[in-house]
Structures are given as structure tokens and as C-alpha cells.
Amino acid sequence: MDTNECQPLYLEIQEFYEGLNMKVEQQVPLLLVERQALNEAMEGEKTGHHHLPETRGLCLSEEQTVSTILRRPRMTGNKIMEMITEPYRLTRRCEVTAILILYGLPRLLTGSILAHEMMHAWLRLKGYRTLTPDIEEGICQVLAHLWIESEIMAGSGSNAASTSSSSSSSTSSKKGGRSQFERKLGDFFKHQIESDTSVAYGDGFRAGNRVVQQYGLKRTLEHIRLTGTLPF
């Protein structure tokens, strides 16, 4: 619900990338924002292909000022009360200035969007060429899908209770392991990625996932870096 509350989840996903030997070296700010701020930031970007009107995350490269949520709002009926926002000035020290995520989404969905946007950041910071939307969005969706799978697996094993101290960002982890509801939610978000009908995100994911399963993530990324295409 606010930027500070999301930081432990951000650390978890940074650790997930490190576990894949894909550490994002640059400290990229993660900001939770309202829909209006997301739309304004998107207009400020010179490049990018977005899943309109459903964009829920952005990896920014331009210097701009973004309104970020400083304190979670209070809900009164259907009204959002007492939301505190502040302007956050992004400065360009490298190819990525910030990652923005729409606030108020479930933890697993927020995490999958973050895993997707972090892959955009990783590609830019590693100097990958400008890729076609189906290649770039597809491989970013592969990473989002991998993260959700890892979360479902972490919660379904017999050692699930041992994860209870690993993160305060997950309400279910405080109770020891994933709830049945959260596992079903994870399966649903996985299914959404797998069955997406768009060319860039859906077809791109299915093609990327197929070659990652065949050749592995490392070889697939190396082929993309050298050729800008997926291996056959």
C-alpha cells in the first residue's frame, strides 16, 4: 500500500535474482504509485511498449519527478482517505532511474510485476541491444512466472514453517507457510501469464518459456544478447 511497505518484497526479489546469478548491480529505487502517476511517468518515457490500458509497472530510464505514496491511505467505505504522497525526483546515474509499481495489489501480483520490471532493468544495465517487444516482454514474463513458481514451491513444502521469519512483508509467512488461498492466488497469476492472448506478453512468454526449458536461462539470455532473437 505504500513505498516503505514494499521494500522487504523488493529485497526478496533482489535475492531471487542473485540466486539466478543475475544480480542487479545498480541500486534502483522502487516506488509504489497511484494510477495517475504511473500514466504520467509512462508519457515521460521516450521508449517502451506497454500493456495498455493494463500497465501496472514501469521501468524508467528518463529523469523526471514522480509522485510516490509515502503513507498508506485509510479506507472509509469505498473512499480512500488521508493518502500522503510526495514528489520524488529521479536522477539519471545509469540506464535505469526507477521501477514504479501500482499500489494496492496483492503481494504475489506485486512481486510478479516487480520481477518482470527488474528483468527490464537487468537487460538495460547489462547493455542488451534494443529488443523487439515479443522478445523483451516475453523474457521478462518468464522471470515473473519463475518467481511465482518459486513462491508457490516455497509455500507447499514440509519446511514451509521455517520460512516464517524470512520476510515480514507476507502476511501468510507470519503464520508459517502459504495459506491455501495464497497458493490458489499464485496458481491464478501463473495461469494469467500462461494464457495471455497479447503478442508481446502472451506469445512472447510462451516462446521464451519454451526455449528456457529447452536450453536453460543462461544460454537463452546469451543467445538474445548476441543475436537479439531466441534460439531455435
**Cβ count within 10 A of residue 116:** 25
Question: What pLDDT is recorded for position 99?
Answer: 96
Q: Which of 148, 140, 142 is nearest to 112 (CA)?
A: 148
Could you give the percent of the chain with pLDDT greater than 90? 59
Q: Say whether pLDDT at 17 is over 90.
A: yes
| Residues whose CB is less than 8 angstroms from the CB of residue 72 and which lie 6 or more positions away in sequence, other chains included | 1, 2, 5, 83
Rounded to the nearest angstrom, the gap between the alpha carbon of residue 4 and the centroid of all alpha carbons in its chain is 16
At 82, the pLDDT band (50, 70, 90 cuts) reads confident
At 90, the pLDDT band (50, 70, 90 cuts) reads confident
Global confidence as pTM: 0.84
Question: What pLDDT is recorded for position 232?
Answer: 84
Question: What pLDDT is recorded for position 77?
Answer: 73
Question: What pLDDT is recorded for position 187?
Answer: 96
Q: Which of 141, 134, 102 is nearest to 118 (CA)?
A: 141
At 44, the pLDDT band (50, 70, 90 cuts) reads confident
**Rounded mean pLDDT of 86-94?**
75
Q: Say whether pLDDT at 96 is over 50.
A: yes
Question: What pLDDT is recorded for position 54?
Answer: 67
Q: Say whether pLDDT at 163 is over 70.
A: no
Q: In a 3-state reduction of DSSP, which class is residue 140?
A: helix
**Rounded mean pLDDT of 126-130?**
89
CB 60 within 8 A of CB 45: yes
pLDDT tens-digit map of 170-225 = 444 444 567 889 999 999 999 999 999 999 999 999 999 999 999 999 999 999 99
CB 43 within 8 A of CB 58: no
| Residues whose CB is less than 8 angstroms from the CB of residue 98 and which lie 6 or more positions away in sequence, other chains included | 28, 29, 30, 31, 60, 66, 88, 90
Question: What pLDDT is recorded for position 161?
Answer: 37
**Rounded mean pLDDT of 135-150?**
97
The highest-confidence range among 48-57, 66-75, 146-155, by mean pLDDT, is: 146-155
